[in-house]
Copies of this chain bind each other. A is one copy, B any other.
Amino acid sequence: MHMEVLAMATIKDVAARAGVSLGTASRVLSGSSQTSPDSRSRVLAAAAELQYVANGPARALRRARTDVLGLLLPDIRNPFFSELAHAAEQEARRLGYTVLLANADEDRDQEAAYLRTFASQRIDGLLLAPQQGGSPELESLHASGLPLVLVDRAVRGLDAPLLSTDNAQGVAQALAWLQAGGHRDVAFVGGPAAISTGVERRDAYLAGRAAHGISTDDALVDAGDFQLGSGTDAMLRILDRGVRPTAVFGADGLMTAGAMRALRQRLGDEARAVEVVSFDDLDWFDLRSPGISAVVNDAAEIGRLGVAALADVIAGRPVASQRIATTFVDRRPAGGTA
């Protein structure tokens, strides 16, 4: 006994069944120009009967356009980026685009590989949160004229619109909060020195701490690579230098979570006495007790504006870089610090 796999119907089949020419069928199906109500309904009926689904590659080849946007992110498991992806996708759908989402896994080679894939897929535009330092693939993709918008992170020497967080503002909010809590010994778990957000947040922190009454002892400062385990490692290094911070500031949600794990490993339940503030707010920061205060970095807004900007670039409209403001959530218990 044989299971018949029905071959996909083509537009030619639809035209034949509807008794019209191939051209007319195409016009009805793509809505590109006027057709008589009669042929319209017959084509539509035929298409439905045959379960016709347009062949995307053929259409793309002919139109030199795919209606697909690429979205290349550093780490899909980082809540900041999964939130950004979600919002970007919603906006893209609204604008009639499909999103091809890819995950560079904080790895340059993998980013380069996806850049090549995207190039060969002939996407209409790319929304990218880049790895450190760019790559030849990125250079040539941009040079080839592919519409490109950067989100979250800058690339030195790459002249493309960038939608990023106001990192200096966010750090200032955290510093003010630390000062209000009377903290002097604050541990800072930064991000990679090769990524713009890592640099901007670290620089703002180092430059601002003295004015906020915070120790300038660099033994209190270390960095990871924006993946959870590295935050733990960085915090362990800090603690192993013998310092005893009364508060910790993590340069992103994952660095903060990682630092908290280190705190628990070394201090057990005493860890709860260390106040925590994070750049990026995570879903569960209000569930811990005491709560974790956070700079709210609006991933959804960045994703939405990024896609809108990309659509503008594709349409040839002028687009400017933009900094997104942060807000702050104070989850310190009413009574003040311990």
Contacts and interface: CB of A to CB of B under 8 A. Distances in A.
Interface of A: 5-6, 8, 51, 53-61, 66, 76-77, 79, 82-83, 85-86, 89-90, 93, 98-103, 105, 110, 113, 116-117, 119-122, 140, 143-145, 228, 257, 260-261, 264, 269, 271-272, 282-284, 286-289
Nearest to A98: B117
A119 B101 CA distance: 17
A326 B145 CA distance: 49
B105 A6 contact: no
Nearest to A254: B283
Query: Which of A5, A100, A110 has the most B CB atoms < 10 Å from its CB?
Result: A100
Given A257-B287, A284-B284, A66 B77 contact: no
10 contacts: A53-B116, A56-B57, A56-B121, A76-B89, A77-B82, A90-B105, A271-B289, A282-B284, A284-B284, A287-B288
Contacts of A61: 55, 57-58, 61
Given A5-B144, A56-B121, A283 B264 contact: no
Contact of A286 (B60, B105, B264, B269): B264
A54 B120 contact: yes
Contacts of A116: 53
Contacts of A144: 5-6, 8, 51
A103 B122 contact: no
Nearest to A272: B289
Contacts of A93: 110, 113
A102 B103 contact: no
Contact of A143 (B6, B90, B269): B6
Contact of A57 (B8, B122, B286): B122
Given A51-B140, A57-B57, A144-B5, A284 B257 contact: yes
A229 to B, nearest CB: 11
A228 B76 contact: no
A79 B77 contact: yes
A276 to B, nearest CB: 10
A237 B282 CA distance: 25
Given A57-B60, A271-B289, A287-B288, 11 more contacts: A53-B120, A55-B122, A56-B57, A57-B122, A76-B85, A77-B83, A86-B103, A101-B103, A257-B284, A261-B286, A284-B284
